[in-house]
Chains A and B, each alone.
Chain A
């Protein structure tokens, strides 16, 4: 008998946990600031309503109706669509190999917080002492054993969290979703009570309405929505497949998307209030101290923590604990989606599927623990998200909107939901989302033909980007062709 969620709350929290990740803290606030401040929230909310929520409803409806994981679900529409499902899961697999390494960094920094080991020059500590970064992706450098230790700890945590599928996940997410919310609230309160906080929040929220006339801002808003909601990885299809037959679809999708966006919005207060404090302490304008991604989490934030008037160690520990709990449920959702699909098609025991997945991903992850790891992480991350995820979202919309009974799927979702959706959903799935995603994919291809990503050597871009995407496409085809066991 197939496992199911033991309660509606467990499903909602698991799905929220999957959607909320490090990006809510280190990407959304920065993107908001960069693309028009408060004005960015207008295209963001439009993107949420016209692409994020419709795609979430699409994934939930498909998973709920078929009660099978992503590849089998998509294959039930038309057999070759199974490849889209495998490709989506492989993109998720590619992401989790480096996402786990970033969490390994968090484990290390959790330990460093006890003594504030990063000292006063946090940039030198992170890049030169901790990562021992090389000068090029082609100069691999040695592995960093402490990062490997953190990576192993992360994989142990991931496997323990999905040990018995939804049964274990449903219990773990009660902690991994509520704890980061609580910690985020603590950081917002701490942040806004620091001197200079208001100056930082001005940068975050003051709307620059002329940005609305720049189409790049709109593309950035749609990109942010796609990245943030963990759609296009087959995770939400798989999670919804564990729902009982009388469960809701539409209302759950709305709650999860809104909760994810609200978390990112609140995250901006924690980030920009402390950046305002940092700017005041260093006598620099906020625009000069704003960073995103790993630089924000592992360089800027440790500096700010050291500058806090009291409780620096405690806030250091809480900050990295927040990052760990934010990231763990996104990571294990990607693994669970892959493991559940392998179990379903090939009838492999869960224990073998989980451990096999972890071991392969851990070994691939070792490349990111080397001196050139950060460069490879950057390249692979760009291609997985800007290319892989977008292709999946595009193909999924085309598969459902043009090659299957999309009206029937909407009616199915409505028959299962607390409230219903109208034809606007058809328009979003058939026209708006594929159009925007198509433009995004075309933009990425044109950009990459013009120049290599971030000026990396072309060979590194090819190996970490195009080659990975091509390899995943071939593996998807092989997995599709392999005969499953009944």
Chain B
């Protein structure tokens, strides 16, 4: 795959999965 595809893959994964992880870490309320 071209390098540009790898960059897109990395940045999108970082935003989506990184975003989920950050949100889960910041969960404070039990409900």
Task: Point out residues on A near B: beta carbons under 8 Å.
Answer: 5, 7-8, 37-39, 41, 45, 198, 201-202, 205-207, 243-244, 246-248, 251, 254-255, 258-259, 261-262, 265, 418-419
List the A residue with the shortest CB-CB distance to B22. Answer: A254
- Given A205-B5, A206-B1, A262-B20, A251 and B27 contact (CB-CB distance below 8 Å): yes
Closest chain-A Cβ to B25's Cβ sits at a distance in Å of 10
Interface size of B by CB at 8 A reads 21
List the B residue with the shortest CB-CB distance to A42. Answer: B8
Closest chain-A Cβ to B2's Cβ sits at a distance in Å of 6
Establish whether residues B29 and A255, one from each chain, have CB atoms under 8 Å apart when the complex forms. no
Establish whether residues B4 and A41, one from each chain, have CB atoms under 8 Å apart when the complex forms. no
Closest chain-A Cβ to B18's Cβ sits at a distance in Å of 9
With most chain B CB atoms within 10 A of its CB, the pick from A198, A247, A251 is: A251
List the A residue with the shortest CB-CB distance to B5. Answer: A205
4 closest cross-chain pairs (CB), A and B: A38-B8, A205-B5, A262-B16, A247-B31
Closest chain-B Cβ to A286's Cβ sits at a distance in Å of 13
Establish whether residues A251 and B16, one from each chain, have CB atoms under 8 Å apart when the complex forms. no
- Given A38-B9, A206-B2, A255 and B17 contact (CB-CB distance below 8 Å): no
B1-31 residues at the A interface, CB under 8 angstroms: 1-2, 4-5, 8-9, 12-13, 15-17, 19-20, 23-24, 26-31
Find chain A residues with CB under 8 A from B5 CB: 37-38, 201-202, 205-207
Establish whether residues B23 and A251, one from each chain, have CB atoms under 8 Å apart when the complex forms. yes
Looking at chain B's contact residues, the main secondary structure is helix
Establish whether residues B1 and A8, one from each chain, have CB atoms under 8 Å apart when the complex forms. no
- Given A198-B1, A202-B2, A258-B23, A8 and B16 contact (CB-CB distance below 8 Å): no
Find chain B residues with CB under 8 A from A419 CB: 26
- Given A243-B31, A262-B20, A207 and B8 contact (CB-CB distance below 8 Å): yes
Closest chain-B Cβ to A34's Cβ sits at a distance in Å of 16
Partner of A418 from B1, B2, B15, B29 at Cβ < 8 Å: B29
A184 to B3, CA, bound (A): 26
Task: Point out residues on B near A: beta carbons under 8 Å.
Answer: 1-2, 4-5, 8-9, 12-13, 15-17, 19-20, 23-24, 26-31
Establish whether residues B8 and A8, one from each chain, have CB atoms under 8 Å apart when the complex forms. no
Find chain B residues with CB under 8 A from A41 CB: 8, 12
With most chain A CB atoms within 10 A of its CB, the pick from B13, B17, B19, B23 is: B23
Closest chain-B Cβ to A72's Cβ sits at a distance in Å of 22
Find chain B residues with CB under 8 A from A418 CB: 26-29
Closest chain-A Cβ to B13's Cβ sits at a distance in Å of 8
A400 to B20, CA, bound (A): 28
Establish whether residues A254 and B9, one from each chain, have CB atoms under 8 Å apart when the complex forms. no
Find chain A residues with CB under 8 A from B26 CB: 251, 418-419
Find chain B residues with CB under 8 A from A38 CB: 4-5, 8-9, 12
- Given A244-B31, A247-B29, A251-B27, A259 and B4 contact (CB-CB distance below 8 Å): no
A244 to B31, CA, bound (A): 7
A170 to B4, CA, bound (A): 41
- Given A205-B9, A206-B4, A254 and B30 contact (CB-CB distance below 8 Å): no
Find chain A residues with CB under 8 A from B17 CB: 262
26 contacts between A and B (CB under 8 A): A5-B31, A7-B31, A8-B31, A37-B5, A39-B8, A45-B12, A205-B1, A205-B5, A205-B9, A206-B5, A207-B4, A207-B8, A246-B29, A246-B31, A248-B27, A251-B23, A251-B26, A254-B23, A255-B20, A255-B23, A258-B23, A259-B20, A265-B16, A418-B28, A418-B29, A419-B26
A206 to B24, CA, bound (A): 31
List the A residue with the shortest CB-CB distance to B11. Answer: A41
- Given A8-B30, A261-B16, A265-B12, A202 and B1 contact (CB-CB distance below 8 Å): yes
Find chain B residues with CB under 8 A from A206 CB: 1-2, 4-5
Find chain B residues with CB under 8 A from A207 CB: 4-5, 8
List the B residue with the shortest CB-CB distance to A198. Answer: B1
List the A residue with the shortest CB-CB distance to B20. Answer: A258
Find chain A residues with CB under 8 A from B16 CB: 258, 261-262, 265
Find chain A residues with CB under 8 A from B9 CB: 38, 205
List the A residue with the shortest CB-CB distance to B9. Answer: A205
Closest chain-B Cβ to A421's Cβ sits at a distance in Å of 13
Closest chain-A Cβ to B17's Cβ sits at a distance in Å of 6
A262 to B14, CA, bound (A): 10
A251 to B16, CA, bound (A): 14
Closest chain-B Cβ to A255's Cβ sits at a distance in Å of 5
